[in-house]
Structure 1
Amino acid sequence: MVNLILLGFSFVALPLVISLLFTANKLSYLAQQSSETIFEVASLTQLNTKLSDSLSNIERSASQYLVLNDDELHQLFIKQQQELSQIIKKTLKQNPNKTLAQLLSQVLTASIQIKSQLSSDNLSNISLEQLQQEFKKLVILKAEIKHYSNSLIKQKADDVQRSNEKARSNIFNSLYIIPVSLLIALLFLVIIIRPLKRLISRIQTLEQGNFQNEITFSGAAEFEGIAHALEMMRVRLHSLELQKSSFIRHISHELKTPLAAIKEGTELIYDNSVGPLNSEQQEICDIIKMSAHRLQCLIEDLLDFNIVLDSTSLVASENITLSPLLSEVINERQLDIKRKNLTIITPDNDIQLHSNATQLKVVFDNILSNAIKYSPQSGTITLLSRYQENDVEIAVIDEGIGISFEHQDKVFDAFYQGTPPEHSQIKGSGLGLTIVKELLSRLQGTIQFVNREIGAEVTIKLPNASPTYKK
């Protein structure tokens, strides 16, 4: 699983890292281009300023020298012309633009030509008007240089703007990487969660006590390791389950054999088969008889509890018709029903279930047993069945004392016994409703108590039902 998580993280992080590097590269290029453009604009602006100032100084010095014929003015002119030459040569060295180089070369050539015309040998051959005409050519060249410099500046600014728009577009396009990364993350999340859900399903199967099905799993090594540990636990739990069930069956059988002899001997004595009994002996026989009956009930509850522990019974699901199952449970309790002269009202409709018949019989028997136990003499117990969508509700309604509010949350605890009914001589084991709750949990059913004006209503709800009706 660790390798799978690392792989998923790599697939999610890789597009984001690539997008980040791409964006950083574009921004770096844009910054560099902007810096170069600013430097070139500053250079061209400075060139225009220096060129304008230098030409103005040269024209003034040349005109004054031509009129005054002063050597100091001549030296100043030569110095200024050399400065102009240095400016032009430096610009030609730094700026490779051919058009600008041609214009600057023309200015340099024209200034050198003026310098030669103002030499002491040729001074008498040039007039002030001719000199001004030569400088007009330089002014024209200077204007062309300024115009061309402005066009270069505008071109550079347009290039920077286009680069900026392109970078912005690329950055916005790179944002599409985010939903792609989220989709990749979601994909790997599904890949990781799906086997986890399968493992959770296996664990829930174990939780329900189903130790029959082997736990197999194919996938990442980590998941297979967890599945292997679960399989080892399942085998161990299944073994313990079989041992417990076997022990309970054997001990119950061993208890029932001497109990049968005790009951048979007690009945013989109680019926005066070995001679008449006095009142004290009769009382002792009654105690033995009730104790034997209670012990038999405890053994039956123990056997019912063994059904809860026995995971092999979970797979024995079948199509069940509710009416015969209820009739079978009622017939097994006929002696208790006749002893209290109870009336049992059964449902007038019938329902079919796909469930475990053995476990359902234990559930109904325990609920009916409680209803008989708490019903008054000559009372009525009503059984109802209601079909709702794909579920069925079976209600058992008695006329007893009901279930007090403080006992309702405790009646499902093992060995808990509530207030016994009046004149009751038989105590329960406290396992009946615990068994019911556990079996209904395995059958995906529920149980609910409701106190009525007279008595209580116990309702169980079971799935996988379909209605049929008695004719």
Structure 2
Amino acid sequence: MTVVGRISFGVTVALIALVGVTLWLVARVDELARLNVETVEVQVAATDRAAEARRLVDPLESISSKYLVSRDPAYAERAEELEDALSRELTALDALPIDAAERAAEASLQSAFKAHLAAFGVERLHGLEGTPERVDALEASLDTVRQALAELTRSSRRAMTERSTAALARSEEAARLSFAAAAVALLGSLAVLAFLLRTVSRPLRALVAGTRAVSAGDFSTRIDVRSRDELAHLARAFNAMVSELEQLERLKSSFVSHISHELKTPLVGMIETNQLLLDEVLGPLDDRQRRMLDLQLSSARRLEAMISDLLDASAHAAGLRYVYSAHDLRAVVQRAAAVHEARAHNLGVRLTVTAQPDPIPVLCDADRIAQVVQNLVDNALKVTPRDGTLDVTADTVDDRDLDADLLPPGAERPRGRFARITVRDTGPGLPDDERRRIFDRFARGRHAARGSGAGVGLGLAICRDIVSAHRGFIGATSPEAGGAEFTVILPLHFAGSVPPRSLPALTAAGLLSTLPLVSAALPLVSAALPLVSAALPLVSAAALALGATACTPPAPRAVLPGDTLVSRGDLVAARAAYDRDATTSPFPEERAHAAFAAAMLLLHGDPDDPRGAAREALYAVEQRYSGTHWSRSARIVLDQIHARAVARLSLREEAARRAELQLELTTLVLRSDEIWYEMVEIEMRLDEARDERGKLLGEMALLRGRLEKLQEESDRVRGELDALKRIDLRRRP
């Protein structure tokens, strides 16, 4: 079942349960209202009939007594009317749906009245004498009827009380059942919703865990696919993306090792050749030759440093492994700074290294921390003027003394005590807008060194990667006294400390970030080739000056005119030169060289290559010059372009699918809120039903009060009638 189907099923079940509970509650409320109305109607009717019967008994007694004594026909007619009215009231009372106790009292009343009619009815009174004994017997007969009426009244009151109690019990039971049914429906709905959320959240959690593992460099992660819903499709796409990333990692490692060999091997030969010439192994040199060779050697070493920075940055992005061990940070800093003492002396800069007297234990890769210190000192020497100072300090610091500007954006202030390395110079300082930007790749400050001492802007980025791998952070500030101050914060090492986890082998962001490194390396390769070409005439001239007679046969050019134009930054002219050499050069090696360089210029101008022009050019190089170095290089670049395109497509599909799932989850949450509002409405209706029941109970209490008042009024009237009867008997002749 799909995710949408499961959500629809769960919502349908919840709605059915809620509708069922609502209908049941309405039925119970209607039943309680009907029972209460019936109870009130029956009790009111029974009470009214009994009160009317009591009202008729007293006049009947008076009129019958008067007729028995006086024999007045008018009294006989009146007595007969009263008897008929009392008979009608008792007949109406007998037709009411009263309970067994009331029915027994009503039967006793009927028997007493029939006995009275049989003994002292109007027809019977015609033949009786009006003696005092007869009058007393008449009164006694009617007293029996009164007692039966009083018993019926008490039975009615007891029945009303019992029915009220039963109605209250039924209402309370209905309320309990209503709450129970609502709770069961709510729990059932919540259980269904929880099951749906679990079926949706479990694969999402697996997907999130897999994404985090991949972002941490674990490309062996795979998501188990057992269903056929949308999440399963997303999991399969994720597994395919991870497989592609594994292949990209292998290609990247091959490219890094290949470019390292291809770039460093000719540089080492050039540097060693220049050094042999400067050492006058082949003979003495004049001032002009020595100056040219010094310039050549300096440029070659600068190029070697740039390539080393590029390879280090690529290694960090690919996943540089660290060897952690316990060290005293003071010794690491002192050894690293000592490397630049001679250079600082030659530049006229006073370099001082200070450390606190107590050891500073840290768990680190000593070579990498030394590389950080050397990079910071090297950068400071480039911008510190002659007679300036450069202070390197190693100490410890509490968290409350940390400068907030050193913390990364959004990071919380750490707690405890930390190791600190400070490199402070007296150079031009850092503007506020450059304090964080200078740690980005290829970023250079406006006061950075220019000319022969300039770098490519990777040194501080490498320092940031190394420090982050050690769970530390690095920052730069400009003190008020002037200059710049770079600070490195590292955690102290205590017994039982866990070493930091090495950088991941490869991340998706790191993988995509290596393509700019490759693009940046290509101009350096092109710039290196003219230097190698320039070194050859110098070597030849020196050999000729020493009497060397060797000569070289004609061979393909190692440096094409387009290479020289690229080094000057004229890419348009370089493209034309490459196209010309690709078609007119007599050497296949030069044609392959020119075709590959022209394709790389296309890729440099448009890295995304939407029209595929660069890919077609690289594919033509691979096919036309198969088996050559340029064919292999074209294949590597094509694989990188394809891998980046696949990775971007997978990331876009994953982002789109996540957006769809987020929308579905939002819809589910909104539907849950609607269900909750329906439950609240049901509770409000239950409260209204309880209020209605309270009103009915209040009306019953009012009716009970009215009945009591009627009973009191009946007792008062009966007392007055008794008094009148006694007065009448005393006046009787």
TM-score norm. by structure 2 comes to 0.51
Picking from 395, 400, 414, the partner of 2:427 is 400
| 1:340 and 2:343 aligned | no
| 1:380 and 2:390 aligned | yes
By how many angstroms is 1:163 displaced? Answer: 6.2
Is the CA contact 2:60–2:82 (under 8 Å) kept in the aligned structure 1? yes
| 1:87 and 2:80 aligned | no
Distance 2:394 2:254 in 1: 37
| 1:45 and 2:47 aligned | yes
Partner-residue secondary structure (3-state), 2:453? coil
By how many angstroms is 1:207 displaced? Answer: 3.2
Percent identity, please: 22
Picking from 298, 311, 318, the partner of 1:303 is 311
Distance 2:215 2:354 in 1: 35
Structure 2 partner of 1:215: 221
Q: Which moved more, 1:325-334 or 1:438-447?
A: 325-334
Distance 2:361 2:47 in 1: 100
Q: 1:337 to 1:306 in 2, by over 3 A?
A: farther
Structure 2 partner of 1:112: 114
Q: 1:124 to 1:377 in 2, by over 3 A?
A: same
By how many angstroms is 1:162 displaced? Answer: 6.1
> 1:398-447: CA deviations, max 9, x gaps?
33332222221320222121134578631111111122223333333211
Structure 2 partner of 1:97: 100
Is the CA contact 1:320–1:354 (under 8 Å) kept in the aligned structure 2? yes
Partner-residue secondary structure (3-state), 1:411? helix
Q: Which moved more, 1:64-73 or 1:339-348?
A: 64-73
Q: 1:340 is matched by which residue type in structure 2?
A: L
> 1:289-320: CA deviations, max 9, x gaps?
33323211111101211221222x34x44214
Structure 1 partner of 2:634: none
Partner-residue secondary structure (3-state), 1:416? coil
Structure 2 partner of 1:135: 142
Picking from 154, 157, 160, the partner of 1:153 is 160
Structure 2 partner of 1:459: 487
By how many angstroms is 1:165 displaced? Answer: 6.9
In the TM superposition, what are the counterparts of 1:26-65 in structure 2 within 5 Å? 31=33, 34-55=36-57, 59=61
Structure 1 partner of 2:724: none
> 1:26-75: CA deviations, max 9, x gaps?
86776555444423432332222332345456557756776334786586
Is the CA contact 2:225–2:232 (under 8 Å) kept in the aligned structure 1? yes
Is the CA contact 1:211–1:234 (under 8 Å) kept in the aligned structure 2? no
| 1:319 and 2:319 aligned | no
Q: 1:237 to 1:404 in 2, by over 3 A?
A: same
Is the CA contact 2:337–2:373 (under 8 Å) kept in the aligned structure 1? no
Is the CA contact 1:449–1:457 (under 8 Å) kept in the aligned structure 2? yes
Is the CA contact 1:387–1:466 (under 8 Å) kept in the aligned structure 2? no
In the TM superposition, what are the counterparts of 1:71-470 in structure 2 within 5 Å? 76=81, 79-80=84-85, 82-91=87-96, 94-98=97-101, 100-117=102-119, 118=121, 120=123, 123-125=126-128, 127=130, 129=135, 130-160=137-167, 200=208, 203-208=211-216, 210-211=217-218, 214-215=220-221, 232-267=240-275, 276-277=285-286, 279=288, 284-311=292-319, 313-314=320-321, 316-321=322-327, 322-323=329-330, 325-326=332-333, 329-330=336-337, 333=340, 336-337=343-344, 339-340=346-347, 342-347=350-355, 348-357=357-366, 359-377=368-386, 379-386=389-396, 389=416, 391-420=418-447, 425-452=452-479, 453-463=481-491, 465-466=493-494
Is the CA contact 2:316–2:462 (under 8 Å) kept in the aligned structure 1? yes
Q: Which moved more, 1:332-341 or 1:285-294?
A: 332-341
**5+ long unaligned stretches in structure 1:** none
Structure 2 partner of 1:68: 72
Q: 1:433 to 1:178 in 2, by over 3 A?
A: farther
TM-score norm. by structure 1 comes to 0.75
**C-alpha RMSD of matched pairs (Å):** 4.9
Distance 1:10 1:361 in 2: 66
By how many angstroms is 1:174 displaced? Answer: 10
Is the CA contact 2:428–2:447 (under 8 Å) kept in the aligned structure 1? no
Structure 1 partner of 2:552: none
Q: 1:69 to 1:197 in 2, by over 3 A?
A: same
By how many angstroms is 1:255 displaced? Answer: 1.3
Q: 1:54 to 1:180 in 2, by over 3 A?
A: same
Distance 1:362 1:13 in 2: 67
Is the CA contact 2:391–2:423 (under 8 Å) kept in the aligned structure 1? yes
Q: Which moved more, 1:259-268 or 1:170-179?
A: 170-179
Q: 2:100 is matched by which residue type in structure 1?
A: N
> 1:184-234: CA deviations, max 9, x gaps?
99x9999998997786565445434x336x336789979898777655544
Q: 1:422 to 1:233 in 2, by over 3 A?
A: closer
Partner-residue secondary structure (3-state), 1:393? strand
Distance 2:17 2:468 in 1: 49
Q: 1:10 to 1:337 in 2, by over 3 A?
A: farther
Is the CA contact 1:301–1:432 (under 8 Å) kept in the aligned structure 2? yes
Distance 2:397 2:138 in 1: 122
Q: 1:13 to 1:126 in 2, by over 3 A?
A: farther
Distance 1:241 1:434 in 2: 21
Partner-residue secondary structure (3-state), 2:437? coil
**5+ long unaligned stretches in structure 2:** 399-415, 496-733
Distance 2:330 2:206 in 1: 38
Is the CA contact 2:397–2:418 (under 8 Å) kept in the aligned structure 1? yes
Distance 1:320 1:226 in 2: 45
Distance 1:206 1:363 in 2: 28
Distance 2:23 2:352 in 1: 83
Q: 1:243 to 1:358 in 2, by over 3 A?
A: farther
Q: 1:371 is matched by which residue type in structure 2?
A: A
Is the CA contact 2:302–2:452 (under 8 Å) kept in the aligned structure 1? no
> 1:358-413: CA deviations, max 9, x gaps?
54344333223212323334643313132654642222233333222222132022
Is the CA contact 1:249–1:303 (under 8 Å) kept in the aligned structure 2? no
Is the CA contact 1:57–1:80 (under 8 Å) kept in the aligned structure 2? no
Which has a greater percent of strand?
1
> 1:310-356: CA deviations, max 9, x gaps?
22x34x44214135544554465566445435534153554343344
By how many angstroms is 1:247 displaced? Answer: 1.3
Matched residue pairs, number? 459
By how many angstroms is 1:77 displaced? Answer: 5.5
Partner-residue secondary structure (3-state), 2:363? strand
